[in-house]
Amino acid sequence: MADSAGIQQGSPAIGAAGLVPAAPGAGGTEGSGAAGGSARIVAKKAQLRSSPRPKKLEKLGIYSSCKAEGPCKCNGWKNQNPPPTPPQTDQQTITVNLQEPCRSCSHTLGDHVSHLENISEEEMNRLLGVVLDVEYLYTCVHKEEDADTKQVYFSLFKLLRKSILQMGKPMLEAQESPPFEKPSIEQGENNFVQYKFSHLPSKERQTIMELAKMFLNQINYWQLETPSQRRQRVPNEDAAGYKVNYTRWLCYCNVPQFCDSLPRYDTTQIFGRTLLRSVFTVMRKQLLEQARQEKDKLPPEKRTLILTHFPKFLSMLEEEVYSHSSPIWSLEFLAGTTGGQIPVQTVISAPPVTRSLYYSASPVSVEPPTCGRVSPARKPNPALEPNPVVVGEKRKPSEPLHHEENKRPRVLGDIPMDLINEVMATITDPATIPETSLLSAHSARDEAARLEERRGVIEFHVIGNSLNQKPNKRILMWLVGLQNVFSHQLPRMPKEYITRLVFDPKHKTLSLIKDGRVIGGICFRMFPSQGFTEIVFCAVTSNEQVKGYGTHLMNHLKEYHIKHEILNFLTYADEYAIGYFKKQGFSKDIKVPKSKYVGYIKDYEGATLMGCELNPSIPYTEFSVIIKKQKEIIKKLIERKQAQIRKVYPGLSCFKDGVRQIPIESIPGIRETGWKPAGKGKELKDPDQLYSTLKSILQHVKSHQNAWPFMEPVKKTEAPGYYQVIRFPMDLKTMSERLKSRYYTTRKLFMADMQRIFTNCREYNPPESEYYKCANLLEKFFYGKIKEAGLIEK
């Protein structure tokens, strides 16, 4: 597809979430009978237009003022014998008599339609179409319950009624005429496709165009919520501005779909970003939910497009819709181009300034437990909490990083800071920022959730019950919601037990709130004196999963605990939760000493104890953003290095002369690539020096807290079958005896025996056992001591 081609509208049934337009009077929702109602109106008009001319005159006479001589104020002929309701099928055969008197003014039908006798059949059919539209709007006025919508229907009813009396075409009287905002939604979407995807191959670009058409089509047939409905859902929004756009949408887009006597416009052509912002969040949610519910009905060729690519497309578009500095909404985006490839590099504006990644160092009290804390995307509700503590509030380490950077000594081989700054300038230059492919599977798990929090779609509150403060109704409702979520998502856990812990004043819950209701949370209990927190329950409601909420929840919990100087999590995970906790940085290698947690946390049968150690230098809620930037830095540095060493050297000719082997370092260009000779470690030639070094290392190993399982040979009574599995046993007592006898004449012999201890342990014991964990920790400690002694390269 040519780059200059615009995105055109498709049929209303593109994709899984194709919604048919709802008829006016449906209350602002998608009515299932809407398409049928529209078809009935069209069929009724066709039937009336095919009627005999006298029948048409009778119909128009009902809406025509009396033209008889003398003052007559009758504004429509009324039959003295009105047809039954509903009309019978044989009523159409009744002969129309133009001398039939009017029930109101007694003048004949002919006096009411005398002005219509000489008009053309085409004009008469047009007026008949207006008549049926008037009747349809009259029904809508009486059925509609929403006051704002009813007022618009009534205004349009009077407009069409007046146009029949005056035999003119209905013209909407408004201060502004379409389009109401530039660029339009359609143009903004075109700009978005050019801005983000102009670099893609033609096949992938065609996929993007399909998605764009699908989205534009959905907007054109989307039913806006009424102003009253929106005020209930978003009470703090500009209600007057939305009402203006809602009225315009009804008059120019929605009602004309059924009343074709009114001029009709596509929503995407006359409205811009303002209207799109007001509907995008709800629209995206409903479209994806409908697609998931109807995934089994999708044709195979559409399934991947709808279920995989469409959500990612919407996430990227969402960022541009709500960004204050997105260039796609600039009128100058296409300036200077008349077709062909749009020069993207000339229209990309500077990216928005990202917020600081660290929290403020202001002290925050853990109590009271009932205080809610909200994300910075929304302002705290003063009625909810008098002194709120904000989840996601910026923190910073005890000493700023730039000071640490200045104090840190330079290491040989470090990259010069001027080069780092130059690369940083490159990756933040909007003209050279690499675009994230929509079809990429490597986007961060919490990216969508972080975006939703930034715009206030979701909130995070740490809440808890209290026995010494006045109950807060909203917090109690959230606690009940959390109890329901945990009960549904953790069916094997007794409901009474969940209720007891959720409402226990010693426990707190980080709750995830969306549209005012709880959709997930993490229940935990802090043990400040022991230096850890126990995670009790963790769940997200099933219809909100696979959106990154679980990862973002855990990241907020980590930030909260870093602020309160608790740097260890412990939890018992069942077989279904182990995968989730591993992704969040948990492992079976528990760093907290057993004496610290035994007797404090609850033990669950059949579950695995997992732990996570927090790093206070990491801003967890922005961690994926930082990693992404670091990858770009490394990538640019590699590219620069490759450009420097990209040189072709002549081949080696020495082998033709009979040389069988040469030193690696003699290969031309090998050192320029950064290659260094492999480190072999330092071999101590003095036996006494070797003995004293190995003795010191062995003594440190034996003194380690995790060395107790390896102090002596394994007893057969304690480990039946051990010597059938382990053919070459080893222990620290045996190593001490060998060291005394001067068996270790080289460092390799000593290291081989020590390594055998760890290997044997892991071979015989299961990974979740205490012995297995001790082997891992002691091995790490041992190699650290070996490096300190200079026996191997660091």
Pinpoint the alpha helices (H) of 646-746. Answer: 687-702, 722-725, 732-740
Q: Which residues are annotated as a binding site?
A: 538-540, 545-551, 576-579
d(CA 15, CA 291): 9
d(CA 313, CA 218): 14
d(CA 415, CA 426): 16
β-pair type (508-514, 458-463): antiparallel
Among positive and negative, which fits the CA dihedral 190, 195, 198, 200? negative
Q: Which H or E run includes 463? A: strand 458-463
- Mutual angle of helices 687-702 and 770-788, in 10-degree steps: 150
d(CA 471, CA 434): 51
Pinpoint the alpha helices (H) of 107-184. Answer: 109-113, 121-143, 147-166
Q: Which residues are annotated as a binding site for acetyl-CoA?
A: 538-540, 545-551, 576-579
Catalytic choice (181, 534, 632, 779): 534
Nearest alpha-carbon partner for 591 in 534, 522, 532, 505: 532
Residue 145: partners with Cβ closer than 8 Å, 6 or more residues away: 27
Nearest alpha-carbon partner for 694 in 745, 733, 734: 745
Sheet containing 532-540: which strands, arranged edge to edge?
Answer: 458-463, 508-514, 517-527, 532-540, 568-573, 608-613
Residue 576: partners with Cβ closer than 8 Å, 6 or more residues away: none
Catalytic residue check, 718: no
Q: What single string gives the DSSP state of each residue in 30-88?
A: --TTHHHHHHHHHHHHHHHHTS-HHHHHHHHHTTS----SS-----S---SSPPPSSPP
Q: Which H or E run includes 452? A: helix 447-454
Residue 173: partners with Cβ closer than 8 Å, 6 or more residues away: none
> Distances from the Cα of 148 to the Cαs of 242, 287, 321, 396, in angstroms?
12, 26, 27, 50
d(CA 293, CA 16): 10
d(CA 740, CA 54): 125
Active site residues: 534
